[in-house]
Amino acid sequence: MHGGQSRTTRFQLSKALFRSSLAANEKVGPYVLKMINLIEQLEKLGCTLGKELPQDLIMQSLSDSFSQFIMNFNMNKISFDLYEMLNLLIDYENQIASEKKKEIVMVVGKSSKKNGKVPKRKHLGPKGGMTKPKNKRNKIDQTDAKCFFCKEKGH
């Protein structure tokens, strides 16, 4: 009878583990801790998953914002336990959040719009009084100019 209960418990734990996915607004830290807890409970019941399968299960359940992390993790083939992986994921999430804050700061600012209308801009030309030559055919004769590299004339 005890074996039937452990089998049912193992089934429920593995179902929860395999169907887990990180929601868009959910923090990665508590989510991965929950997955690690499920993995450890399965191992206590005698269901050994090895080292790589739990990592793969965690990574495949992450949202698309972690795709760069997953690619780097798989390419570097560094050996981490699940708690080290958790710390790396939290660091990566914080890095993404700080980059988003920088983008928001760059977007927020004083607007030139008044009453929903955008003022027409006049083309005043480049600053400093220098203008581009309008006709590209007016090239300067450089046959007597010295080369900066070899100090010869004409090229």
Domain count, the chain: 1
In a domain, 146, yes or no: no
The three-state (H, E, C) secondary structure of 78-117, written as one string: CCCCHHHHHHHHHHHHHHHHHHHHHHHHHHCCCCCCECCE
Q: Does residue 10 lie in a domain region?
A: yes
pLDDT band, very low/low/confident/very high, at 90 (cuts 50, 70, 90): very high
Q: Which residue did the predictor score with more confidence, 155 or 120?
A: 155
Any domain includes 123: no
What value does the mean pLDDT take over residues 57-71? 90
> Is 22 a member of any domain?
yes
Confidence class of residue 83 from pLDDT cuts 50, 70 and 90? very high
Report residue 32's pLDDT band, with 50, 70 and 90 as the boundaries.
very high
Residue 38: pLDDT over 80: yes
Instruction: Determine, yes or no, domain membership for 135.
Output: no
Which residues form the domain of 98?
2-107
- Is residue 31 assigned to a domain? yes
- Please state the rounded mean pLDDT for residues 49-70: 90
* Residue 143 included in any domain: no
